[in-house]
A and B are shown apart, each in its own frame.
Chain A
Amino acid sequence: MLYINCPHCGMRSQNEFSYGGDASVKRPELNKEVSDQEWDNFVYNRKSLRGKHLELWQHISGCRQWIKVERDTATHEIFRTFKADEEVA
Chain B
Amino acid sequence: MTQAFRIENGGLINRDKKLSFKFNGKTYFGYEGDTLASALLANGVHLVGRSFKYHRPRGFFGAGVDEPYAVVQLYRNGETEPNIKATEQELFEGLEAKSVNCWPSVNFDIGAINNFLKIFLPAGFYYKTFMWPKSFWFRIYEPFIRKAAGLGVASTKHDKERYEHKYEYCDLLIAGSGPSGLAGAYAAAKNGAKVILAEDKPRFGGSLLTSDVNIGNQSGKDWAEGIIAELKTMPNVVVKNRSQIFGYYDHNMLVMSEKVSDHLPSTKKYHPNKRLWYIRAKEVLISSGSIERPIVFGNNDTPGVMLSSAAKEYLKVYGVLVGRKPLVFTNNDSGYETAIEFKKNGVDPVVLDSRKNAESEIIDEAKNLGINIKNSYVVVAAQGYKKVKSADIASISEDKKQLGKIENIQCDCICVSGFWTPTIHLASQSGNKTKFKEEIDAFVPGQSKQNEITLGAANGVFSLEETLKTSFTAGSELSKKLTKKDNEIAIPNVVEKKSSQHDKFWCVPLPKGKNYKRFLDFQNDVAVSDVEIALREGYRSIEHVKRYTTLGMATDQGKTSNLNGLQLVSEIENKVVPAVGHTTFRPPYTPVSIGAIVGREVGKHSKPTRKSPMHSWHEKNNAVFVDAGVWLRPRYYKRGNENLFEASKREAKNVRTNVGVCDVTTLGKIDIKGPDAAVLLNRVYTNAWLKLPVGKARYGVMLREDGIVMDDGTTTRISENHYHMTTTTAQAANVLSHLEYYLQLVWPELNVNVVSTTEQWAGAAIAGPKSRHLLQKLFPNSDVSNEGLPFMGYMEGDLFGVKARIFRISFSGELAYEVNVESDYGSFMWEKIMEVGGEFNIQPYGTEALSTLRIEMGHVAGSELDGRTIPFDNALEGLVSKKKDFIGKRSLQRSAFTAEDRQRIVGVVPLDKQTSIPEGSHLVKDDKAPLPNPKLGHISASCWSVEYDNPFSLAILKDGKNMIGQKLFAMSPLKNKVIPVEIVSSHYVDPKGERVRS
Contact = CB atoms under 8 A, between A and B. Distances in A.
A20 interface: yes
A89 interface: no
10 contacts: A1-B278, A2-B250, A3-B280, A13-B253, A13-B280, A20-B741, A27-B746, A30-B683, A31-B885, A60-B737
Interface string B696-729: 0000000001100000000000000000000000
Contact of B744 (A60, A66, A75): A66
A11 to B, nearest CB: 8
A56 interface: yes
A78 B696 CA distance: 48
A85 B748 contact: yes
A66 B251 contact: no
Interface in A29-74: 30-31, 34, 39, 42-44, 56, 58, 60, 64-66
Contacts of B431: 75
Given A31-B885, A34-B890, A66-B745, A1 B250 contact: yes
Interface string B431-450: 10000000000000000010
B740 interface: yes
A43 B891 contact: yes
A1 B253 contact: yes
A25 B516 CA distance: 66
A58 B737 contact: yes
B252 interface: yes
Contacts, number: 54
A80 interface: no
Nearest to B890: A39
A75 B3 CA distance: 55
A56 B745 contact: yes
Contacts of A85: 744, 748
B734 to A, nearest CB: 10
Contacts of B683: 30
A18 B741 CA distance: 12
Q: Which of B249, B683, B740 has the most CB of A within 10 A?
A: B740
Contacts of A20: 741
A32 B744 CA distance: 21
Interface residues of A, number: 26
A27 B743 CA distance: 13
Given A43-B705, A84-B748, A58 B250 contact: no
Given A30-B885, A75-B431, A84 B744 contact: yes
Contacts of A3: 250-253, 280
A34 B683 CA distance: 17
A83 B354 CA distance: 66
A28 B827 CA distance: 48
Contacts of B733: 60
A43 B891 CA distance: 9
Contacts of A84: 744-745, 748
A68 to B, nearest CB: 9
- Max chain B Cβ within 10 angstroms of own Cβ: one of A43, A58, A78: A43
A42 B510 CA distance: 68
Contacts of A31: 884-885
B740 A64 contact: yes
Nearest to B167: A13
Given A42-B705, A44-B706, A58-B737, 8 more contacts: A1-B250, A1-B253, A13-B253, A34-B890, A39-B891, A60-B733, A65-B744, A75-B431
A61 B744 CA distance: 17
Nearest to A58: B737
A85 B747 CA distance: 10
Contact of B737 (A18, A27, A28): A18
A33 to B, nearest CB: 10
A58 B741 contact: yes
Contacts of A30: 683, 885
Contacts of B891: 39, 43
B280 A43 contact: no
Nearest to A23: B745
Contacts of B249: 1
Contacts of B706: 43-44
A32 to B, nearest CB: 8
A56 B884 CA distance: 28
Contacts of B884: 31
Interface in B871-903: 884-885, 890-891
Contacts of B251: 1-3, 76, 78
Nearest to B252: A3
B991 to A, nearest CB: 36
Nearest to A26: B746
Nearest to B449: A75
A20 B740 CA distance: 12
A9 to B, nearest CB: 15
Contacts of B449: 75
Nearest to A64: B740
Contacts of B737: 18, 58, 60
Nearest to A42: B705
Interface in B545-594: none
Contacts of A78: 251
A78 B746 CA distance: 24
Q: Specify which of B250, B280, B884 lies most central, judged by the most chain A CB atoms within 10 Å of its CB.
A: B250
A65 B449 CA distance: 31
Interface string B274-287: 00001010000000
Nearest to A31: B885
Q: What are the 5 A-B residue pairs with the smallest beta carbon separation, nearest first?
A: A3-B251, A30-B885, A84-B744, A66-B744, A31-B885
Contacts of A18: 737
A46 to B, nearest CB: 13
A64 B891 CA distance: 28
A78 B744 CA distance: 22
Contacts of A43: 705-706, 891
Nearest to B736: A64
Interface string B667-710: 00000000000000001000000000000000000000110000
A2 B251 CA distance: 6
Contacts of A2: 250-251
